[in-house]
Structure 1
Amino acid sequence: MRQYDLSPLYRSTIGFDRVFSMLDQMSAPEGGNAYPPYNIERTGENSYRISIAVAGFTDADLSIEVKENALAVRGERKTASEPKAEVLYQGIAARSFERRFQLADHVQVTGASLENGLLHIDLTREIPEAKKPRLIPINASTQAKVIESGVANDSHPKAA
């Protein structure tokens, strides 16, 4: 993907900083940010679910934080005090991670569950009544307005 320089737009716009930051993040390569894999699903008209593969992590190893419009999921395995067996091959990644998601306005986290190695985070978009579209009634008067008409005045000069 091409890199675009958005700095001229920063100088001429006010209040769109977050939009430009999101564009910068989207254009950045994801090479180092592919772990852990995740899915985003739409489960209803206004509900969503993020499922993150966290094999080997327990609920005590994971934390979910929502701040403003950002959701951060962190995972860090606690070291066990019991001696481990010698690992001959390790294919299950157990490294620490932090995965961030930008949430749209009015999206709230409603719950989280850990089952079968997947962390499910449920989200709901709750638009306040003041922000919902509403129909505005049109008041029309029943009386037709009549423009007064006068008798033509013959004192005006006629064009020849």
Structure 2
Amino acid sequence: MRSFDLSPLYRATVGFDRVADLMDRVLTSEVAQPTYPPYNIEKTDENAYRISVAVAGFTAAELSVEVKENALHISARKADEDEGRVYLHRGIATRAFERRFHLADHVRVTGATHADGMLHIDLVREMPEALKPRRIEIASAPQIEARQVN
């Protein structure tokens, strides 16, 4: 595994330590990423996103969506309903899962819907007024009258 030293960046930047933490997390994460359940991330507007997770076989009561410390946690746990059933073939995966998505600053979850075996989570990026660009008026300098010195 390669190791990158990001300390030279700290000399010329302020407040970018989260970027370094994110890069460190990405570079040190496991090579084998979980593929269950499958999901899509789409951009629905300039500042709006939607995460769609395929959760066939789960009811809304068996799903959990939480936001903790800029991370979206989606999990599901199936109740044991298999007592007395004998499967000849079991191809529908209803195993428990937990999926995490790290959210950028100022991204807020606005809602979640469950329909047709899909869990849709809507997100919006809301920039605070203090961070939005603002135009500064340039005032004219007051005219200074020249005085004669005697």
TM-score, normalised to structure 1's length?
0.77
CA distance in 2, matches of 1:17, 1:91: 45
Cα RMSD (Å) = 2.5
Query: Do 1:10 and 1:17's aligned partners in 2 also have CA atoms closer than 8 Å?
Result: no
Say whether 1:64 aligns with 2:61. no
CA distance in 2, matches of 1:147, 1:55: 83
For residue 3 of structure 2, the aligned residue among 2, 5, 18 is 5
Q: Aligned residue for 1:91?
A: 91
**CA distances 1:84-136 after superposition (whole Å, capped 9, x unpaired):** 42111111111111111011110000000001111000001111111111011
Instruction: Report SS of the residue matched to 1:43.
Output: strand
Q: Aligned residue for 2:39?
A: 38
Q: Which has the larger radius of gyration?
A: 1
Instruction: Report SS of the residue matched to 2:45.
Output: coil
Query: Shift in Å at residue 45 of structure 1?
Result: 1.1
Query: Do 1:69 and 1:103's aligned partners in 2 also have CA atoms closer than 8 Å?
Result: yes
Superposed counterparts of 1:77-156, under 5 Å: 77-80=78-81, 83-141=83-141, 143=143
Which structure 1 segments of 5+ residues have no match?
Answer: 149-160
CA distance in 2, matches of 1:134, 1:37: 41
Aligned residues with identical type, % of pairs: 51
CA distance in 2, matches of 1:18, 1:32: 22
CA distance in 1, matches of 2:31, 2:111: 27
Q: Aligned residue for 2:74?
A: 73
Number of aligned residue pairs: give it: 143
Instruction: Report SS of the residue matched to 1:78.
Output: coil
